[in-house]
Structure 1
Amino acid sequence: MAVEFFVKFHSNTLMEFRREHQRLTASQVLQALADGQDISLLRCTVSGDLEVDRFFEKEEKFDTSNLQTSAQEQCRIITFPQKIIMNECTFEGNVFFAPEWDDEGLLRVVFKQDAVFNMSVFKEQTRFADSTFHGRAGFDGCKFYSVAAFTDCKFGAQAMFRTVEFHGYALFNRARFAQDARFINTLLSKGGNFKESLFMSAADFSGVYSTGKSLPTHYDITFARRCSGDGETFWRYVKQAATEAGYYKLAGDCFYEERKCNMRGRFYGKNFAKLDKKQKIAKLAKGIKLLPEFLLGDLLFGYGEKPVRVIYAALTVIITCGLLYFSVGDLECPHSPNGSTFFESMYFSVITFTTLGFGDVYPNATHTFTRAVAMFEAISGTFLISLFVVCLAKRFSRG
């Protein structure tokens, strides 16, 4: 029994590449990866280029007999089944778990377990493009001093990028996040690229900031849990970046998206999908109190960012009330021998909406319906005109 335990312990020790406070070459780390050993590095310095395509270069002398590879059309796939932990390490050369920039689509890396690089420093270019992370992807506290490419990555578990410093370009375009994605208090010095990214679960961009005036690319970004308010912190970040860069129109559009996400989050809550039927009904019933904000704040004037909606609402009120005056035909027009015509009805609707009240056209004193419509239109006109002024002031005074 003791012998069996010793053999098992000795085997597990051999299968783990553990180093602390050492200087290593990239070739040593690559060979450990090729051998399938669990990687556990702490405060190590890795010199040279840590590039997985070196496995297939003729001048290199790696033992790849245990390296798991497969092919799909013209793409070579490398699968790392082991756990990879490289915390507080410094990488002096390139770190490429992807092909060279000119060979995109020819190599793909799959991480079967956790791949964690917390608090590490990447001095040169970093590429994980088109990689698949089945386990947790941990980059908390990392510093990237050059381009960091996570283009087309597929994150199957949590993706952690909290308090990261991206001093170069941060590329997350077309990335897929199946679980929580956290970018809390992260520096995106040059804005970042999130074009066509998909967030299937919670996405938190609280405290994300930029030291430059570069805007993040965010076209066609998708937050699958829109009902839970996901996306609010992202749009807040883009709004702040656009304001600092002087793109006030974009900042206004992002503010509108931020407010919509906020309202959805308050209406449905973060865990609406996990509630049972009765709990969902109760949650929706409580959300009725947000109906005035939805109708007046969102639909009517877009939280101050959609003044054209106020114009459409005003025209709707004027035309509708004018048609009511004309259909009832109960306006007093002393100067018109033909009584209240269509033009006279529209004229009265306009002056009532603007609360001018010249007195040349007025409703019959005995007709309650016409007078009630006039009262409604006068109140609506006062409200909508004030709202339009507020919208214009908000739009053109920003900055």
Structure 2
Amino acid sequence: MDNNLTTLNIDDVLKKAGEKIENFYIPILNLQKQTSDIEIFNCVIGEIILTDCQIQHKIHLENVVVEGSFIAGKKRSSDKAVAAQFDNAMILKNCKFKGEVVFGHCVFSTLMSCQDCVFFEEVIFGHAHFKEQAYFWGSQFNNTISFNHAVFEVEGHFDKCDFRAAAHFVKVNFKGQDASFNYITAQTDIDFSEIDVDCFFAFRESKIDGKIDFKKAVFHKDADFIRSAFRSNVTFENAHFHEKTDFSYAQFAQSSFFYGSSFSNITFLNAQFNNEVLFNLDSHTRRSLGESVSEIKPAQFNGNSDFTNTRFHKRAIFENVTFVNEAHFANCFFGEQANFINVRANDYICFDSVYCNQEFSAVGGKFAKITFDYANINRRLDLSGATLNALSFYKAAVDLMVVEAKQIRRKLIHENPEKPSYEKCAEEYLLLKESFYQRGLHEEEDWAYFKFRQTKRKYRTKENIEKMKAASFINKLFYLGKLPFSLFERILIDRATGYGTRPLNITIVAISFILFFGAVYSYFPDTLVKPESMPFGFAQATYFSFATFTTMGFGDIQPRLDSIMPYVVSTEAFFGLFIMTLFVGTYTRKIIR
């Protein structure tokens, strides 16, 4: 106590009610008989007792030091004391409370303002009911604080508060307009378990050194966690976000748990997870824990999800998670495993330009539309067993891509016949070819190579047609002259031989050539020189065609030099030599592999 202060007893305080009381020492403040506003400035108070009071007039304490307890309510529900009811404003500004402060079960019918105050001992607001605005701006809590089961009807503001011991907000109900914890600092744990927030919830740019727990919290309106820093474990297990939630630029230093949570529209733009983040337990953990995890469910994303530029430095577990609407992971960084096993993405999910330092696993997932354009995955991209309705991985850099040909046939986005982009398809099929080769899947490798060559041809043809449309008359003729070569490639090399990957097709083409030219020879027998006694029907003509096609020589039958037949025979011999060479090369390649 300041010895220079004059002592003022409670009776004198009540007599001065309605006036400004300043620079006094008040041993005890009991306002059961309060009849007017109480305004106390720059005073020292021994203790304050307000239980069993119904305060009908304003109380305003500013720059006051309370050396003992401030008791206005119950510490426990079983206490016999009657909690105070404040029918008028309660204003505490720049005050210091050196003893415990108890407002448990108190009712604040109007404004409750506690601005820039310092609390040295335990503070209890459990079951308190705030019917109007409640402000705790800039206050410092050096000991435990409890708001468990409190109700905020209109607004509850804790901006710039400093929590230096455990803070408990279990089952608090925020209603009305706003609940804000912007710019707070917390050196130990904060417990928001099972809070019910039916208003805008702001938790912007706060710094939490201890654990923070939002288990089973329910947010009915928008929630804002932008730029907050969580330096210990964060738990949002079984939390529910019914409107937009924003974690943009938030930092998570330790493990983050979101399993069992449901999100409407969620944003993690530029967020950073320095440790593992779990939107579900992975299958190995679930097996090791056995029955104890039977109630743990995967997270559910019911609206749009934005993880653009998010950095996951450790494991990111999205196993069995469901994305109902679009999900964007563009430019994300995955320092370790990215686990999207058995994910269900009912709409577009984007992994464009992601960087994954280890394996990216989407085994068994179901994807309506998924893209990995410009992705950089150091190890393998595992899509085995996944259902892929539309897929793109243009310019992706992947060490090994695990996917089956049957999964992606006619599923590439850039191969859509309505708006094809053949040059991009060619890049994708080339990547598939290399991945199939590394896995020893030579049939699939041949299929990817065939599609690569086919899309390259389509791209050249499309490019020539577009250039021809825009060119001058002379240049139109130049590009028009290229089209027959494209047609020749399509018929003979593409369809007939599969660019050397389909030996059966080559065999069918060879037989077709032999039979076709045999029919020609049998239809024009007079153009051939043969013994007069030799019958010459389709069988003999086919034999002659076979000998010509395989370049074995003419034997007893030769073309007449004074007819057009030598040119026909030479044409068949040329195609025969070409097709036989392709046939031998293709089968040799198959046998060697």
Shift in Å at residue 317 of structure 1? 1.1
Aligned to 1:209: 399
* Structure 1 contact 326–340 (Cα < 8 Å) conserved: yes
Report how far residue 25 of structure 1 moved: 3.1
Assess if the C-alpha contact under 8 Å between 2:318 and 2:343 holds in 1: no
Relative to its length, the structure with more helix (as a share) is 1
Match of 1:75 in 2: none
**In structure 1, the residue corresponding to 2:248 is in which secondary structure?**
strand
Deviations 1:21-69 (A, max 9, x none): 5424332597695674411244422425321x2x5xxxxxxxxxxxxxx
Alignment CA distance shift 1:360-1:295 (3 Å): same
Aligned residues of 1:138 and 1:160 also touching (Cα < 8 A):
yes
CA distance in 2 between partners of 1:88 and 1:48 (Å): 11
Tell me which residue corresponds to 1:311: 507
Q: What SS is found at the alignment partner of 1:303?
A: coil
Contact 2:231 2:253 in 1 (8 A): yes
Q: Which residue of structure 1 lines up, in the alignment, with residue 587 of structure 2?
A: 392
Letter in 2 for 1:351: A
1:192/1:158 CA distance change after superposition, 3 Å: closer
2:231 to 1, 19, 23: 23
CA contact (8 A) 2:496 2:505 kept: yes
AA aligned to 2:421 is: S
Give the structure 1 partner of residue 248 of structure 2. 40
RMSD: 4.2
Query: Residue deviations 1:70-127, cap 9 Å, x none?
Result: xxxxxxxx44234332533134352239999999999742233523363313426323
Count how many residue pairs are aligned between Structure 1 and Structure 2: 354
Q: CA deviation at 1:379?
A: 1.5
Quote how far apart the aligned CAs of 1:354 are.
Answer: 1.6
Which residue does the alignment assign to 1:327? 523
Q: How does 1:1-399 map to 2 (within 5 A)?
A: 15-19=223-227, 22-27=230-235, 33=241, 36-51=244-259, 53=260, 55=261, 78-85=262-269, 87-92=271-276, 94-96=278-280, 108-112=300-304, 114-116=306-308, 118-123=310-315, 125-127=317-319, 129-134=321-326, 136-138=328-330, 140-145=332-337, 147-149=339-341, 151-156=343-348, 158-160=350-352, 162-167=354-359, 169-171=361-363, 173-177=365-369, 181-182=372-373, 184-189=375-380, 191-193=382-384, 195-199=386-390, 203-210=393-400, 215-221=402-408, 222-226=411-415, 227-229=420-422, 230-268=424-462, 288=483, 290-330=486-526, 331-334=528-531, 337-366=533-562, 368-397=563-592
Report the Cα distance in structure 1 between the residues aligned to 2:366 and 2:426, rounded to whole angstroms.
20
- SS of equivalent residue, structure 1 residue 301: coil
Q: Distance in 2 between matches of 1:92 and 1:224?
A: 33
Q: 1:344 to 1:41 in 2, by over 3 A?
A: same
8 Å contact from structure 1 (residues 183, 208) kept in 2: no
Q: Which runs of 5+ in 2 are unaligned?
A: 1-176, 183-199, 205-222, 288-293, 471-475
Whether the aligned pair in 2 keeps the contact of 1:147 and 1:168 (CA below 8 Å) is: yes
Matched to 1:219, the amino acid is K
Q: 1:199 to 1:387 in 2, by over 3 A?
A: same
Q: Which structure shows the higher strand fraction? A: 2
**Letter in structure 2 aligned against 1:257:** K
Question: Secondary structure of the residue that 2:333 maps to in structure 1?
Answer: coil
Name 2:86's counterpart in structure 1. none
| Per-residue CA distance 1:152-193 (angstroms, 9 max, x = gap) | 313447442522234363337431227x64252223536333
- Point out which structure has higher relative CO (alpha carbons under 8 A, 6+ apart): 1
Q: Is the 8 A contact 2:282 2:317 kept in 1?
A: no
Assess if the C-alpha contact under 8 Å between 2:302 and 2:325 holds in 1: yes
CA contact (8 A) 1:199 1:224 kept: yes
**1:157, 1:248 → 2: CA distance?**
31
Q: Structure 1 residue 346: deviation in Å?
A: 1.5
1:318 and 1:349 in contact (8 A); partners too: yes
Q: Distance in 1 between matches of 2:500 and 2:589?
A: 7
Deviations 1:322-342 (A, max 9, x none): 1111122223321x5254233
Aligned to 2:194: none
Corresponding letter in the other structure for 1:345: A
Q: Matched residues in 1 for 2:578 and 2:504: separation?
A: 15
CA distance in 2, matches of 1:379, 1:89: 66
Shift of the 312–357 alpha-carbon distance from structure 1 to 2, 3 Å rule, reads same
Aligned-pair CA distance for 1:356: 2.0
Q: Which residue of 2 aligns with 1:69?
A: none
Extract unaligned runs of 5+ from structure 1: 1-6, 56-77
Supply the distance in 1 between the matched residues of 2:460 and 2:203 (Cα, whole angstroms): 51
Give the CA deviation at 1:311. Answer: 1.5
Do the aligned partners of 2:236 and 2:258 also contact (CA within 8 Å) in 1?
no
The alpha-carbon distance between structure 1 residues 316 and 194, as it changes in their structure 2 partners (threshold 3 A), is same
Does the 8 Å contact 1:24/1:47 carry over to 2? yes
When the two structures are superposed, what TM-score results if normalisation uses the length of structure 2? 0.51
Rounded to whole Å, the distance in 2 between the matches of 1:290 and 1:195 is 36
Partners in 1 of 2:431 and 2:273 — Cα distance? 29
Q: Aligned in 2, Cα 1:146/1:182: closer, same or farther, shift over 3 Å?
A: closer
Distance 1:329 1:304, change over 3 A: same
1:153 is paired with a residue whose SS is strand
Say if 1:129 and 1:143 are closer, same or farther in 2 by CA, change over 3 A: same
Max Rg structure: 2
- Identity over aligned residues, as a percent? 16
> Is the alpha carbon distance of 1:146 and 1:79 closer, same or farther for their aligned partners in structure 2, counting shifts above 3 Å?
closer
Structure 2: distance between partners of 1:146 and 1:156: 18
Conservation of the 8 A alpha-carbon contact between 1:96 and 1:128: yes
Distance in 1 separating the partners of 2:544 and 2:492: 26
TM-score (norm 1): 0.72
Q: Could you say what secondary structure the match of 1:149 adopts?
A: coil
Counterpart-to-counterpart distance in 2, 1:29 and 1:384: 66
Quick one: distance in 1 between partners of 2:482 and 2:390? 25
Residue identity in the other structure for 2:406? Y
